[in-house]
Amino acid sequence: MTTTGAPTAAPDALAGLIDLDHAATTPVRPEVLSAMAPFAEQRYGNPSGAHRLARDAVRALDEARERIAAALGCAPGEVVITSGGTESDNHAVAGGMPPRPGVPVCAATEHHAVLDTVRALDGRVVGVDDLGRVDPGELGATLSELGRRASVVSVMAANNETGVVTDLASVAEVVARHTPEVPAVPLHTDAVQAAAWLDPSAWAPADLISVSAHKLGGPKGVGALVVRHHVELEPLLHGGGQERGRRSGTVDVAGAVGLATALECVAADRGTVAKRVGAVRDRLRDRLVDSVDGLVVTVERQGLARGAGRVLPGILHVCIPGVESETLLFLLESAGVCASAASSCASGADRGSHVLAAMGVPADLAGGALRLSLGSDTTEDEVDRAAAAVADAVERLRSFP
């Protein structure tokens, strides 16, 4: 007897969970699901073909590309559809396959998709300030030393662990000042976390921009790399020459439609959602500070005044002395709260956070790191219950001899 792949209901184990790990991924918005459905069903054509089904897919893809471009603040011809943030970052940093000649440069707090690519290419990693923002003096000195050998500078728009937002205009100014050659060294920004919360002006100064649909209410496995017209980029993936030769592989039309719709949904209510979620995040902060002895709000310890507004509204990063992230996460999960210690790829807390280390957070404090990240629908009741669960777990851990 054959079994069909009928959709499975959510297992009971997921009922009632409080998800405070939205920076890892966030649910697909209903509008996105319904916009994508026709492209998985009747309108399933391959946009590389020439017949009626294929032409329908081409039209849908063109339209999605226009909507993505409008939401990201670029021209449709500058949008390359990719498989997500990791591919976009690898492509921007490497410049293609084989990699562009020269030395890529990035900040020490970049996501591993950037950092590990820079390291794989023997690039340069620049230090950061106490808040994890690239050190302009060190960036300038590195670029002056490299001269024409610098191939790309990659600095993220907002950090995925701490939520700290970068002033990209000032980074672009440092790059321009220290690389006066023509063509200038391109500035890449990983806007994977920023795009869920910030206006496109936040990444406007960049020449190459990475985004990922699943961080903002779209599907997993699709993203975009914005390549400004003046930037030369060779393909990373070779094959059928799709995406005007910049990215081979059958384009995921449903995914592109999903990304376009998710970006539009985010843009439509960005102001009100950011304000509401920021207030809920601050409430969580206050509850935790009041109920957990010695708890440190990481960005405040590092010098950012409470409410200074240079942190994404959805992220609260804390460090809890005398507690190990891994055991804390285990107890939180038993209490029905999903969170993480660092980025989702290092969430098991089994490798320490390179972000906190680069910011100069002492290792004993960083060992008790906890990233709580809220989604657009996270409620006051959820954060109140999560704060109580954290306080309870910390008390239990501290009571062990």
Task: Restricting to residues 201-230, name those near ligand PLP by CB under 6 A.
Answer: 212, 223
| Contact assessment for residue 91 and residue 223, using Cβ atoms and an 8 Å cutoff | no
Long-range contacts of 206-211 (CB under 8 A, 24+ apart): 206/157, 206/168, 206/172, 207/231, 208/92, 208/152, 208/233, 209/72, 209/74, 210/85, 210/88, 210/89, 210/92, 211/72, 211/85, 211/88, 211/259, 211/263
Smaller CB separation from ligand PLP, 45 or 314 = 314
Residues in the chain: 401
Rounded to the nearest 5 degrees, what angle is found at the Cα of 145, between the Cα atoms of 142 and 150?
Answer: 70
> Is 161 a residue that touches ligand PLP (CB under 6 A)?
no
Structure tokens at 20: 């405070």
Distance in Å, CB of 38 to ligand PLP, minimum: 24
Stretch that binds ligand PLP, among 51-59, 190-198, 233-241, 370-378 (CB under 6 A): 190-198
> Is 297 a residue that touches ligand PLP (CB under 6 A)?
no
334 to 373: interface string for ligand PLP, x by CB under 6 A: ---------xx-----------------------------
Residue among 89, 208, 178, 159 at smallest CA distance from 343: 159
Query: How many of the other CB atoms lie within 10 Å of CB of 334?
Result: 10
Residue among 267, 265, 268, 157 at smallest CA distance from 218: 265
Q: Please tell me the count of residues contacting ligand PLP according to CB under 6 A.
A: 15
Q: Which of 84, 136, 186, 368 binds ligand PLP (CB under 6 A)?
A: 84
Query: What is d(CA 159, CA 315) in angstroms, rounded to the nearest whole number?
Result: 10
Stretch that binds ligand PLP, among 84-92, 307-315, 324-332, 334-342 (CB under 6 A): 84-92
Distance in Å, CB of 348 to ligand PLP, minimum: 14
Distance in Å, CB of 36 to ligand PLP, minimum: 17
Amino acid occupying residue 272: T
Smaller CB separation from ligand PLP, 178 or 214 = 214
Amino acid occupying residue 382: E
Residue among 73, 89, 107, 90 at smallest CA distance from 198: 73
> Is 190 a residue that touches ligand PLP (CB under 6 A)?
yes
Q: Which of 26, 86, 90, 162 binds ligand PLP (CB under 6 A)?
A: 86
Q: Which of 64, 143, 168, 192 binds ligand PLP (CB under 6 A)?
A: 192
Q: Which of 142, 162, 189, 193 binds ligand PLP (CB under 6 A)?
A: 193
The answer to whether residue 74 is catalytic is: no
User: Which residues, listed in sequence order, are joined to residue 106 by a DSSP beta bridge?
Assistant: 125, 154
DSSP letter, residue 44: -
Active-site annotation holder among 74, 106, 319, 345: 345
Query: What is d(CA 339, CA 17) in angstroms, rounded to the nearest whole number?
Result: 11
Stretch that binds ligand PLP, among 82-90, 231-239, 356-364, 390-398 (CB under 6 A): 82-90
Distance in Å, CB of 178 to ligand PLP, minimum: 25
Smaller CB separation from ligand PLP, 164 or 393 = 164
Alpha helices (H) in 292-344, listed in sequence order: 298-301, 325-334
Smaller CB separation from ligand PLP, 47 or 85 = 85
103 to 132: interface string for ligand PLP, x by CB under 6 A: --------x-x-------------------
Residue among 366, 355, 369 at smallest CA distance from 127: 355
141 to 160: interface string for ligand PLP, x by CB under 6 A: ---------------x---x
Q: Which residues are annotated as catalytic?
A: 345
Interacting residues toward ligand PLP by CB under 6 A: 84-86, 89, 111, 113, 156, 160, 190, 192-193, 212, 223, 343-344
